[in-house]
Amino acid sequence: MASPQVVVLDYGSGNLRSAERALARAGADVVVTGDSSAAQDADGLVVPGVGAFATCMAGLRAVDGPRVIGRRLAGGRPVLGICVGMQVLFESGLEHGRETEGCGEWPGVVERLTAPVLPHMGWNTVEAAPGSALFAGVEQERFYFVHSYAARRFELAYDASSPIPAPAVTWAEHGEPFVAAVENGPLCATQFHPEKSGDAGARLLANWVAAL
């Protein structure tokens, strides 16, 4: 059986090569590109992200990223956001008093964490959502985080008549609870870096690739 084709979206932000290598080890046929047609057509799309919310959104818009993400999800085609690539899926980000519009796939604002030490940098446990497919086999493991901002709430109202299961939200804590990962039908995202999270991150990516 052919390996699933995965595009790592190149929009000027993110650990592109480390994500590429990690996904290849997880069993994917990986291409790093900013081409919107390739991103639209792949079996899976990975949206990485490092740095400021506003900068990442500007880069995404330059490669038509929000439209590509929206069209993929409308067709039930998998998308995985990583770090700021997760944050930009929310309605907006608030940094240094400036609010920037996000992709709007989920309601809510990404804000600076209230914690004694920022950035939150290093390994942390998570409280995996019950029955999580993404965290299968690594529910008790630690993952690698580097961030000062996060979604502190997950506000998506669930429609019980929807064919898509209720979102599975995984939490972590640094000063306060924050959203560490979400599984919402074809849209998944992690605040941590699975590509930098050793064996646990490799297993999580393999779980995602296997579901494509």
What pLDDT was estimated at residue 126? 98
Length of the chain: 212
What pLDDT was estimated at residue 161? 83
Q: What is the pLDDT of residues 30-50, one digit of tens each?
A: 999 999 999 999 999 999 999
Q: Which amino acid is at 148?
A: S
Q: Is the peptide bond before 119 cis (omega within 30 degrees of 0)?
A: yes
| Range 133-141 average pLDDT | 97
| Range 57-81 average pLDDT | 97
Give yes or no for residue 81 having a pLDDT over 80.
Answer: yes
Domain count, the chain: 1
Residue 55's alpha-carbon distances to 12, 31, 76, 111, in angstroms, are 9, 23, 28, 15
Is residue 141 annotated as a catalytic residue, yes or no?
Answer: no
Residue whose pair of structure tokens reads 């998570």 in the numeric block: 126
What pLDDT was estimated at residue 135? 98
Backbone angles phi, psi at 154, to 5 degrees: -125, 115
What pLDDT was estimated at residue 14? 79
Q: What is the pLDDT of residues 149-180, one digit of tens each?
A: 999 999 988 888 878 788 999 999 999 999 99
Give yes or no for residue 188 having a pLDDT over 80.
Answer: yes
Residue 47's alpha-carbon distances to 33, 79, 98, 192, in angstroms, are 11, 7, 23, 13
Residue 173's alpha-carbon distances to 108, 150, 152, 157, 197, in angstroms, are 18, 11, 10, 23, 17
Q: Give me 69's structure tokens.
A: 């993400």
What pLDDT was estimated at residue 158? 81
Are the beta carbons of 181 and 190 closer than 8 angstroms? yes
End-to-end alpha-carbon separation of the chain, Å? 13
Q: What is the pLDDT of residues 45-55, one digit of tens each?
A: 999 999 999 99
As a whole number of angstroms, the distance between CA 31 and CA 105 comes to 24
Q: Which residues form the domain of 31?
A: 5-210
Count, in order, helices (H) and strands (E) of the chain.
Answer: 6, 13
Judged by phi (left if over 0) then psi (alpha if -120 to 50, else beta), residue 15 lies in beta
Is residue 103 annotated as a catalytic residue, yes or no?
Answer: no
What pLDDT was estimated at residue 157? 81
Average pLDDT along the chain:
96
As a whole number of angstroms, the distance between CA 176 and CA 63 comes to 34
Choose between 159 and 106: higher pLDDT. Answer: 106
CATH of the domain at 73: 3.40.50.880
Active-site pick, 83, 105, 120, 147: 83
What is the model's pTM? 0.97
| Range 126-141 average pLDDT | 97
Q: Give me 101's structure tokens.
A: 């519009």
Q: Which amino acid is at 105?
A: E
Q: How confident is the model at residue 115 (pLDDT cuts 50, 70, 90)?
A: very high
| Range 176-204 average pLDDT | 98
What pLDDT was estimated at residue 108? 97
Q: Which of 113, 107, 91 is nearest to 154 (CA)?
A: 107
Is residue 91 annotated as a catalytic residue, yes or no?
Answer: no
Give yes or no for residue 1 having a pLDDT over 90.
Answer: no
As a whole number of angstroms, the distance between CA 25 and CA 192 comes to 19
